[in-house]
Amino acid sequence: MDSCEDAATLEWWANRSACLGRLRVRIVVRTAGDDWTCEATLEAAEDRESFDFLMQLDPHFTLRFYDASILLVKVVEAGVGVVALVAELGLWPATGSATAARNGRDCRRLRQGSG
């Protein structure tokens, strides 16, 4: 199993032009063959109230990496302060290093932030 850690942003979009929340997270991606898992932790504890509010509205967020690649994810509570991110394939175009994560391959590219 290969794994890597990186910083990213969870964004909650009301529509294509209005982002109602941007939350900085630390992600851990683990790959095993074609399978992958991703967990995220909010970087700032004061973001928890905003995060909980947005989760009540809809648990679908855009995961944005610092190379501007994106992936639509469904957020699922996975423990105290930790959430699991599940790729919503086919609902949003994935680009760059998010594509590598989605395919469960080449975790090094994700960690290095290259597309």
Mean pLDDT is lowest, of 15-19, 36-40, 51-55, for: 36-40
The long-range contacts involving 20-24, CB below 8 angstroms and separated by at least 24 positions, are 20/54, 21/50, 21/51, 21/54, 23/47, 23/50, 23/51
Domain ranges of the chain: 2-110
Residue type, 45: A
How far is residue 78's CA from residue 22's CA, in Å, rounded to a whole number? 20
Is it the case that residue 95 has pLDDT exceeding 80?
no
> Average pLDDT for residues 57-73, to the nearest whole number?
90
pLDDT recorded at residue 12: 95
Contact 59, 68 (CB under 8 A): no
Is it the case that residue 54 has pLDDT exceeding 60?
yes
> Average pLDDT for residues 71-80, to the nearest whole number?
84
Confidence of residue 92 (pLDDT cuts 50, 70, 90): very low
